[in-house]
Chain A
């Protein structure tokens, strides 16, 4: 998608110059490391219940305080990062692959197939995504895998539209005609010649999509139909934060800040990548 020369000559220098995007990028990498190292970094075990230490405010021993079962909130926030990032990446992976495939086929073949697929996109966009996700979960047992799948399966439409628009333009290029003339099959043209040039909007959409998926997962867990306790997730810590809001503000503050910072970093990075890839923003 990003040819090596383009990457070094244009994309990377532009992204480097964008301070906000770099800040986002550094935060994204840091978060990734933190979640990877959570088992070694976290001072306590995420599920250890301590009845003598319930709902303690932040202190030297418990920087983020403790929850209603005496568990260390900092530890649970660190472990929650693993869940959030996992959900974000897998859900976006599903959405990106599905959306790219649909957009590629629709744009390349055109005609009735295009019409059918794009109407499917229209219909899917009519459903309030959150309703659709909740409805599916109502009928299945909520588990982290179901949640990833559902967020992915309800989030591919934007990618499909973006890829289709790219493919429509690329399809008319001379090198595609040339490829056809020398006898390349449709599949080969699509995968080898069209796809690599249609991927840059997917990169942007995927980066922003991680942020969206993390928000959705946390909202689901907050409502109690996402990641189920005792597994820690930012959303379900906030859920108990709501129950104890009158006594324990720290339960609500820290996981929320974690979500805010994560989503903000992915958005900043995504916008930066968009600007760096945009031919119109050559300055």
Chain B
């Protein structure tokens, strides 16, 4: 296990460098240097600020030196300062918003898997029956519904028409005066639609995947054995088959992270949730280079971390990997 872990972690280093290299390339796609752009947008930037910025980006030096300087800054968690009027360090801006996005996505991931697993198992167990067909229809619809459209429809029904749920933000105005239970309830009401939208995004895909994993397992000899020795079908399916069908899902959880993080731009923008996705969107709209690049790098690192975690849990769950 220790060697496996070590090998897996060492493999991260070239990937991280690759991520920074691609991000660096993206910055240099821009016509006109970031400093010029910032100056063009903000005439108040004086000569000293210009020089300071040029020095920060090392724009007077050749490309490879610029790259090394930038990566060195990154390694010290220095992402530069935001171009927006508050001029705060990008790291601060990201770290105050990251927890919101992360916790939303983790809750969404849990709900998504909690629903997708039973749905997939049911479809596999009742293969080719009405249940399976109904689920297939649901899955195909789920693939095809644009998440932002779903968000709009939910906003219309629950927010506008029925007026049951708030349609934006995380808190009601003046929520500080509520009891802690009231605050929790307030938060839950605000989070209901965003989390529903976030978890719906890949629910269809995961349940489809679960179905095929389960179908494969059910054909194995040990399932026939379990049935032959007279175990009730319930135990065969939910204990013997499910445990093995769940293994590939661990990897899938790792793979679904970039989709979730990318999707947070959409639902955070629609529901005005002050998370990383909204910050990214605002950064894009106002051409706030340091913010966009910082989040791009962090988003990719989070994916890498998620993949590492899912690989480790896979190894913990499956001794064949650990010892192989």
Roughly how many angstroms separate A130 CA and B267 CA in the complex, as a whole number?
13
B284:A140 contact, CB within 8 angstroms? no
Q: What is the bound-complex CA distance between A275 and B168, given in angstroms?
A: 43
C-alpha spacing A23/B243, complex, angstroms? 37
B293 near A252 with CB under 8 A, answer no
**Cβ contacts under 8 Å, A44 to chain B:** none
Task: Kindly supply a per-residue 1/0 record for chain A positions 249-269, scoring 1 wherever the CB is within 8 Å of any chain B CB and 0 otherwise.
Answer: 100110010011101100110
- If A223-B269, A223-B281 touch, whether A268 touches B140 (CB-CB below 8 Å) is yes
**In angstroms, how far is the closest chain A Cβ from the Cβ of B201?**
11
Q: Which chain B residues lie closer than 8 Å to A225 at the CB level?
A: 284-285
Q: Is A6 an interface residue (CB 8 A)?
A: no
How distant is the Cα of A245 from the Cα of B283 in the complex, in angstroms?
A: 26
Q: Which of B29, B156, B160, B304 touches A136 (beta carbons < 8 Å)?
A: B29
A222:B148 contact, CB within 8 angstroms: yes
Q: Does A80 sit within 8 A of B, measured CB to CB? A: no
Contact B284 A256 (CB under 8 A): no
Q: Provide the bound-state CA to CA distance between A129 and B256, in Å.
A: 12
A124 contacts partner chain B, Cβ-Cβ < 8 Å: yes
Are A238 and B26 touching (Cβ within 8 A)?
no
The residues of A that contact B144 with a CB separation of less than 8 Å are 211, 259-261, 263-264, 267
> Is there an interface contact between B280 and A256, defined as CB atoms closer than 8 Å?
no
Q: Count of A-B contacts with CB under 8 A?
A: 138
Which residues 206-265 in A have Cβ within 8 Å of B in the complex?
211, 215, 218-219, 222-225, 238, 241-242, 245-246, 249, 252-253, 256, 259-261, 263-264
A124 and B283 contact, CB distance less than 8 A: no
A130 touches B148 (CB 8 A): no
Residues on B with beta carbons closer than 8 Å to the beta carbon of A246: 160
CB-contact partner of A125 in B141, B147, B258, B263, under 8 A: B258
Instruction: Give the distance in Å from the alpha carbon of A122 to the alpha carbon of B141 in the complex.
Output: 30
Select from chain B the residue with minimum beta-carbon distance to A125: B258
Q: How large is the interface on A (under 10, 10 to 19, 20 to 34, 35 or more residues)?
A: 35 or more
| Smallest Cβ-Cβ distance to B14: which chain A residue | A119
Chain B residues contacting A267 (CB-CB under 8 Å) are 140, 143-144
Shortest distance between the CB of B291 and any CB in chain A (Å): 10
A215 to B266, CA, bound (A): 12
Chain A contacts with B in 102-156, Cβ cutoff 8 A: 119-120, 122-132, 134-140
Which residues of A are found within 8 Å of B149, using beta-carbon distances?
A: 238, 252, 256, 259-260
Across the interface, B292 reaches (CB within 8 A) one of A135, A223, A259, namely: A135
Q: Is the CB of A219 within 8 A of B280?
A: no
**A260 contacts B152, C-beta separation under 8 Å:** no
Looking at the assembled complex, report how far the CB atom of B133 sits from the nearest CB atom of chain A, in whole angstroms: 10
Q: In the complex, which residue of chain A has the Cβ closest to the Cβ of B34?
A: A139
Q: How far is the CA of A71 from the CA of B230 in the complex (A)?
A: 68
| Shortest Cβ distance from residue A270 to the other chain B in the assembled complex, whole angstroms | 10
Least CB distance, A212 to chain B, in whole angstroms: 10
Q: Are A259 and B146 in contact (CB under 8 A)?
A: yes
Asked if B228 is an interface residue, CB under 8 A from chain A, the answer is no
B22 interfacial by beta-carbon distance below 8 Å: yes
A139 touches B26 (CB 8 A): yes
- Who on chain B is nearest to A257 by CB? B149
> Are A140 and B303 within 8 A (Cβ)?
no
Chain B positions within 8 Å of A242 at CB level: 152, 270
User: When the two chains form their complex, are residues A119 and B18 in contact, meaning their CB atoms are under 8 A apart?
Assistant: yes
What 1/0 flags go to B3-47 for Cβ under 8 Å of A?
A: 000000000001100110011001101110000000000000000
Given that A129-B258, A130-B265 are contacting pairs, would A123 and B18 also be in contact in the complex, using a CB cutoff of 8 Å? yes
Q: A137 near B284 (CB under 8 angstroms)?
A: yes
Q: What are the residues of chain B within 8 A of A259 when measuring CB–CB?
A: 144, 146, 149
Tell me which of B231-239, B294-302, B312-320 binds A.
B294-302
Judge if B206 is at the interface, Cβ distance under 8 Å.
no
In the complex, what residues of B have CB within 8 A of residue A245's CB?
Answer: 152, 155-156, 160
Residue of B nearest to A215 (CB): B146
Q: Once the chains bind, are A260 and B146 in contact (CB under 8 Å)?
A: yes
- Min Cβ gap A34→B in Å is 18
The B251-281 residues at the A interface (CB cut-off 8 A) are: 258-259, 261-263, 265-266, 269-270, 280-281
Q: Which residues of A contact B (CB under 8 A)?
A: 119-120, 122-132, 134-140, 211, 215, 218-219, 222-225, 238, 241-242, 245-246, 249, 252-253, 256, 259-261, 263-264, 267-268
* 19 A-B residue pairings within 8 Å (CB atoms): A119-B14, A119-B18, A123-B18, A126-B15, A127-B299, A127-B300, A134-B292, A135-B293, A222-B146, A223-B269, A242-B152, A245-B155, A252-B152, A260-B144, A260-B145, A261-B144, A263-B144, A264-B140, A267-B140
